[in-house]
Amino acid sequence: MAKPQEKVSFGQRLKQIGMVFQFTAKQDRWFAPLVAAAVLIPLALTVVAVILWSWIWLPIGILFILLAVLIVLNLRSNKAMMNAAEGQPGAAAQIMENMRGDWRVTPAVSSTTQMDMVHLVIGRPGVILLAEGNPQRVRSLLGQEKRRLSKVIGSAPLHDYVIGQDEGELPIRKLRTTLLRLPRALSGKDVNSLDKRLKALTAR
């Protein structure tokens, strides 16, 4: 079952947006100029429309300003978070845990003392293994996990990725879009059943 979404009050939502603004402004030097442009350009057009036609354009202009600022915030905050996540141990699991949809994430089902780790993800595309760390060591961990999981996943698809920037690796900034493009091979009932079997395996 998917986790129930907790209700967030309007004040909490504003606080979250403010925190995202502060974080993005620190990480992205272009964020403030782009926000200023997103405010000033629609504001100038709104003033012209009000002068030439009617006050009815004022609320419309305000809505356009808010929409433009939110678009800039969404695009630049995602980029800033991806930049901050690169090279951080456990970043792939954290991104998956914050993704929309029914994704069952088990961080670091396999790991080493050198901070190499393999995360287990279960979703509609099947079983997904995400490896972070030294490429040679994590490929060995991936092989072990694939052999272990093959005993219980049956015909469910098994996908595996090594997170990194080298050839044959998946950049963390492309993780979200890559997984969302995977074909949906399992039903919600299949995901629940697979999740129970793999939790039992992990517990053992």
The per-residue pLDDT for 5 is: 44
The per-residue pLDDT for 192 is: 87
Confidence of residue 129 (pLDDT cuts 50, 70, 90): very high
Q: What gap in Å lies between CA 140 and CA 164, rounded to an integer?
A: 16
Last residue of a domain, one of 86, 112, 145: 86
Tell whether 51 and 132 lie within a shared domain. Answer: no
Tell whether 100 and 192 lie within a shared domain. Answer: yes
| 21 Cα distance to chain centroid | 18
Is 2 part of a structural domain of the chain?
no
Confidence of residue 195 (pLDDT cuts 50, 70, 90): confident
Q: What is the mean pLDDT of residues 133-154?
A: 84
Tell whether 190 and 108 lie within a shared domain. Answer: yes
Q: What gap in Å lies between CA 60 and CA 79, rounded to an integer?
A: 29
Q: What gap in Å lies between CA 16 and CA 14, rounded to an integer?
A: 5
The per-residue pLDDT for 112 is: 82
What tokens were used for 138? 């994590």
Q: Is the pTM of this model over 0.75?
A: no
> What long-range pairs does 134-140 form, CB within 8 A, spacing at least 24?
135/162, 135/164, 135/166, 135/169, 137/112, 138/162
Tell whether 49 and 118 lie within a shared domain. Answer: no
Is 148 part of a structural domain of the chain?
yes
Is 197 part of a structural domain of the chain?
yes
Amino acid letter, 86: E
Tell whether 115 and 196 lie within a shared domain. Answer: yes
Is 5 part of a structural domain of the chain?
no
Is 3 part of a structural domain of the chain?
no
Last residue of a domain, one of 53, 86, 119: 86
The per-residue pLDDT for 197 is: 83
The per-residue pLDDT for 8 is: 53
Q: What tens digit of pLDDT does each residue of 43-81 get? A: 888 888 888 888 888 888 889 889 988 888 887 877 777
CB atoms within 10 A of CB 110: 19
Tell whether 99 and 180 lie within a shared domain. Answer: yes
Q: Could you list the residue range(s) of the whole structural domain that residue 42 is in?
A: 11-86
The per-residue pLDDT for 4 is: 44
Torsion 12-176-154-141 (CA) sign: negative
Tell whether 110 and 147 lie within a shared domain. Answer: yes
* Total domains in the fold of the chain: 2
Tell whether 71 and 152 lie within a shared domain. Answer: no
Tell whether 68 and 98 lie within a shared domain. Answer: no
CA dihedral 112, 116, 122, 127 (to 10 degrees): -90
Q: What is the mean pLDDT of residues 124-141?
A: 87
